[in-house]
Amino acid sequence: MKHPTPDELLAGILARDPRYTMEAYAFVRAGLDFTVRRLEKPRHVSGQELLAGIRESAIEEFGPMAKTVLNGWGINRTEDVGEIVFNMVESGLLGKTKEDSRADFANGYDFDEAFRKPFKPAVSRS
């Protein structure tokens, strides 16, 4: 029996859950790689570590357009990242530990605060 390719697995995810685009899945996967590369030595990362890495990666890659780009892919809050991660886990594209859960991504950060505030001009008090 032939094993499905990553592209076939992703196509199955997109058919079952159309909330997120293919780009959203690719970005979360790239965000995971970005996060692991920043570690002293490779290891499993927590949901909160992944959220921090995704935030940093999005700001680095998209600058002030980060929130707009992510929203365009269906990623509007940190819980969406968790949904994407667990869709990939359930299809076999990512692994998890028994301690990992969708709840790890709940209330990670406010998207306006995380992606807009770094680019707002400082208010001067003259």
Q: Name the stretches of the chain with pLDDT < 50.
A: none
Q: Is residue 64 within 8 Å of 119, Cβ to Cβ?
A: yes
Count of all residues that appear for the chain in the document:
126
- Residues 61-83: tens digit of each pLDDT: 999 999 999 999 999 999 999 99
pLDDT of 82 reads 98
Q: Is residue 47 within 8 Å of 100, Cβ to Cβ?
A: yes
Tokens of 15: 């058919």
Q: What is the distance between the terminal CA atoms of the chain, rounded to a whole angstrom?
A: 72
Q: How far apart, in Å, are the Cα atoms of 119 and each of 2, 43, 59, 65, 98?
A: 49, 32, 10, 10, 38
Q: Tokens 């790689």, residue?
A: 33
pLDDT of 124 reads 66
pLDDT of 125 reads 64
Q: Which of 39, 44, 114, 43 minimizes the C-alpha distance to 78?
A: 114
Neighbour tally for 59: CB within 10 Å: 17
pLDDT of 123 reads 78
Sign of CA dihedral 67, 70, 75, 79: negative
